[in-house]
Structure 1
Amino acid sequence: MNVVSVAKRDFLDVRRAKLVWAPMVLYVLFMLLFYWGQSNSTNPDFYMILWGLAGLGGALVIPLAALVAAYLSIAGERESGSIKYQLSLPVSRTDVVLGKLLARAAVVAVALLVAFAVGDVAGRLLVPDMTVEYDVYGAFAVLTLLYALSYVAVAVGISAATSSRSRAMSGAIGFFFVFNIVWNFLPIGPVRMAEFVLTELGVSYSDALLDLIFSLSPTGAYLNGMKLVFPDSFRALQSTTTASDVFYVQGWFMLVILAGWIVVPLAVGTWQFGRTDLG
């Protein structure tokens, strides 16, 4: 039994969970709402629909879908004791973590791809006069899938590092609140705190530095990563984005940050899981 075997078994189990699919139904409803809104416009804007999905769907629905799909992937089996049976087979703890990641990421990816397909059909029916740029739509979908993967990785890492369902749930909720709501959307977030502290200390800073701080969360990196998706004329809508040429606020660097959110939580979770006595 290896990583793929673990992933196949887990995928078959989790795909039946209605709670996993519920957030994606909400994502489709948001998508339909944005298309319907543009259907009343004399000049429907395809980019506005995608930006609405990135802002509302990306900040709320995607993280919830990924966390719900993966936060119990290992902690649930540890609490029930079934993880001991799985580890009695020729499979390592690292295989378990990576297998869970593949399975939960596959479920979220399938749900998102279905949502994008529904959105395409809805666009044709609700806004027949709107021009859909499929290269932009495809780039948006790829970036959204990477963003979702980062949250799945975080959830699997939390699940691997915790020993019970309640702790895994607390960790997932805490991460969502701190690195999504507080970090990017509350006026007391790290960006405003850093701005206040640097100003009080008399230290000069650039808007690019504040933009980097905003982008250090998965959601911030996703939103600023939209520089890679939308044309220059649309970037005016991205109020979080500076015009700096510094490398750490460029679109490609947002992919590096998202990759970090995939690798680091998994590494920490795998390390903690590996050193835990399962009894």
Structure 2
Amino acid sequence: MSTLAVAKKDFLDVRRAKIVWFVSSLYLLLAVAMFYFGQNNAEEPEFRNALQSLTGTGALVLTLVALVTAYLAIAGERESGSIKYMLSIPNSRREVVLGKFLTRSGVVVASILLGFGIGTILGYLWYPSVDLELLLGTLALTILFTLTYVSIAIGISAATASRSRAMGGTIAFFFVTTVLVLFGLVNTALGWIFNDVLGRDLSGEVLTFIEALVSPMIAFSRAFNIFLADLPEEAFQDQPWYLEGEMMIVILLAWLVVPLALGIWKFERADLG
């Protein structure tokens, strides 16, 4: 078999997972809600505002979609023992990891495309105009952001031998890099560690950059600044180069590649008993 063959077989399994379709449906309902409330009781509703609402609020839901879809991809089969059958066909361990990544990515991307598709239709029905350039750019960035979480979940799944460990690792990652970030606690903790404990006296901009390195959510939110070209130039003129949107995309690409590579490296060396 090959990577594509593994992906095809895995799709037959994942499509029966009700929890995956449940969390995916939440994103579709969110898309409808954001575009409905964006124009409700508004004399001149703006498509951009509704899209920004979907992008910001939807990011949290999409992290859950990605993590729930992928965190048991390999660990679940290792615990049940079915991974040995898959590897005896034969498939290399790398093909298994990449195949699982393709399948779970496909499910997640399908949810995003449906959500944005619904938003586009509602945009033409309820709004004076639709900014297609903004729509496509936001769609591409949202897909990249969400795939980083698929990569992270697959990497965790490939590096763990049981469902409980995969779940624990995934929850811990989500809690630290998403929940704590949203409450501003990660930035506060970084300031305490570097400035108070280590005495480095780092600026707020440097701390924000470090926060973006440890949280795809922060990198995603700052990368969205690329599409805010109509804001006053003063809003970005004092911003250092390492906080620009293009740099945030580089960070997201690193989050896409590194966890998957580490997962493959760990899985190839694992004792499957």
Q: CA deviation at 1:70?
A: 0.4
Answer with 248-257 or 116-125: which moved more.
116-125
SS of match in other structure, 1:172: helix
For residues 184 and 127 of structure 2, what CA distance do their matches in structure 1 show?
A: 40
Q: Aligned residues, how many?
A: 270
- Deviations 1:50-77 (CA, angstroms, capped at 9, x unpaired): 221222110x201000001100100111
2:173 corresponds in structure 1 to: 175
Q: CA deviation at 1:187?
A: 3.6
1:207 corresponds in structure 2 to: 204
CA RMSD of aligned residues (A): 2.1
Structure-2-length-normalised TM-score: 0.91
> Counterpart of 1:178 in structure 2: which amino acid?
V
For residues 43 and 244 of structure 1, what CA distance do their matches in structure 2 show?
A: 33
| Contact 2:35/2:123 (<8 A) preserved | yes
Q: CA deviation at 1:222?
A: 0.7
- Deviations 1:108-139 (CA, angstroms, capped at 9, x unpaired): 111111111111122233x243x210111011
| Contact 1:207/1:242 (<8 A) preserved | no
Q: CA deviation at 1:196?
A: 4.0
2:123 corresponds in structure 1 to: 123
2:108 corresponds in structure 1 to: 108
- Deviations 1:133-172 (CA, angstroms, capped at 9, x unpaired): 0111011010000011100000000100111111111111
2:34 corresponds in structure 1 to: 34
Q: Pick closer, same or farther for the CA change 1:234–1:24 going to 2, 3 Å.
A: farther
> Share of identical aligned residues, percent?
44
2:18 corresponds in structure 1 to: 18
For residues 32 and 148 of structure 1, what CA distance do their matches in structure 2 show?
A: 19
Question: How do 1:1-279 and structure 2 match up within 5 A?
Answer: 1-39=1-39, 40-58=41-59, 60-125=60-125, 127-129=126-128, 131-182=129-180, 184-189=181-186, 191-197=187-193, 200=196, 203-216=200-213, 217-233=215-231, 243-279=237-273
Q: Pick closer, same or farther for the CA change 1:84–1:47 going to 2, 3 Å.
A: same
- Deviations 1:175-209 (CA, angstroms, capped at 9, x unpaired): 10011111x212422x1223345554765433321
> Counterpart of 2:188 in structure 1: which amino acid?
R
For residues 135 and 5 of structure 1, what CA distance do their matches in structure 2 show?
A: 36
Q: CA deviation at 1:6?
A: 0.8
SS of match in other structure, 1:232: coil
Q: Pick closer, same or farther for the CA change 1:227–1:128 going to 2, 3 Å.
A: closer
| Contact 1:211/1:242 (<8 A) preserved | no
| Contact 1:28/1:119 (<8 A) preserved | no
Q: Pick closer, same or farther for the CA change 1:198–1:2 going to 2, 3 Å.
A: closer
Q: Which runs of 5+ in 2 are unaligned?
A: none
Answer with 81-90 or 21-30: which moved more.
21-30
> Counterpart of 2:240 in structure 1: which amino acid?
V
SS of match in other structure, 2:63: helix
SS of match in other structure, 1:226: helix
Answer with 10-19 or 105-114: which moved more.
10-19
> Counterpart of 1:111 in structure 2: which amino acid?
S
- Deviations 1:63-94 (CA, angstroms, capped at 9, x unpaired): 00000110010011111111000101221101
Q: Pick closer, same or farther for the CA change 1:44–1:194 going to 2, 3 Å.
A: same
For residues 161 and 235 of structure 1, what CA distance do their matches in structure 2 show?
A: 45
| Contact 1:2/1:95 (<8 A) preserved | yes
For residues 249 and 12 of structure 2, what CA distance do their matches in structure 1 show?
A: 30
| Contact 2:47/2:127 (<8 A) preserved | no
Structure-1-length-normalised TM-score: 0.90
SS of match in other structure, 1:265: helix
| Contact 1:136/1:230 (<8 A) preserved | no
Q: Pick closer, same or farther for the CA change 1:166–1:242 going to 2, 3 Å.
A: farther
Answer with 192-201 or 261-270: which moved more.
192-201
